[in-house]
Amino acid sequence: MSADAEESRAGAKFYRIAWIFYLALAIAGLLWIGTQRGRLGIELFVDPGSWWIDLGAGVAIGAALLALWWALRRFFAAARSLEDELAALLAPLSVAEAVSLALISAVAEELFFRGALQGAIGFLPAAVLFALMHAGPGKGFRIWTLFALAGGLSLGALVSLRGPLGGAIVAHLMVNAVNLVRLARRAPLPPVPPPVPPPASDAGESSPAAHD
């Protein structure tokens, strides 16, 4: 099997596993919220009388988080190295797949962490657990965990102040969609071929000479 075929299969497997995980997380969040509130309605996501406030706040927070990540990868080599690893993982995905993954992950994480967990244990513990979910080995993952903590605090504060999850979902979707699409579209650098040595002269070949 060619390397491209293996890479495509690995990307498809990652996509399926991610969708299954986030779908399960969303269902768990909805069920947990239902037990806390007794019912699920449109007010979970938006206040019809002031939806524009949630939308504007979500866009503003999303833009601020994107600017924060831009600064982190601009000034920290570990953040750039982490992006290289994630780009290799996401490279087989199409733009549509990256966007759909951004959507399901944003909705699922907001339902579970801001909707259910924050309502059960409070704003700060939920933000810390959200950050720990993004932890991993190496300096790059430590930066990503701190970035996730900043996101968890800002999105948690928005939900605490406003109530509905719509604004937090908008912000989360902006961050995920921009970054996932950007990384998925980044083509891996081709391997540098070794230098080709110049053709060796034939030792047994004599120089041309004039004949009478």
For the chain, give the secondary structure using H, E and C: CCHHHHHHHHHHHHHHHHHHHHHHHHHHHHHHHHHHHCCCCHHHCCCCCCHHHHHHHHHHHHHHHHHHHHHHHHHCHHHHHHHHHHHHHHCCCCHHHHHHHHHHHHHHHHHHHHHHHHHHHCHHHHHHHHHHHCCCCCHHHHHHHHHHHHHHHHHHHHHHHHCCCHHHHHHHHHHHHHHHHHHHCCCCCCCCCCCCCCCCCCCCCCCCCCCC
CA distance 8 to 151: 31
From the number of C-beta atoms within 10 Å of its C-beta (0-12, 13-18, 19+), residue 14 rates as middle
Q: What is the pLDDT along the chain (212 residues), one digit of tens a residue?
A: 555 556 667 667 889 999 999 999 999 999 999 999 888 999 999 999 999 999 999 999 999 999 999 999 999 999 999 999 999 888 888 999 999 999 999 999 999 999 999 999 999 999 999 999 999 888 999 999 999 999 999 999 999 999 999 999 999 999 999 999 999 987 555 455 667 666 665 545 555 555 55
Phi-psi region of 206 (alpha: psi -120 to 50; beta: other; left: phi over 0): beta
pTM given for the model? 0.84
pLDDT the model gives residue 125: 97
pLDDT value of residue 201 = 58
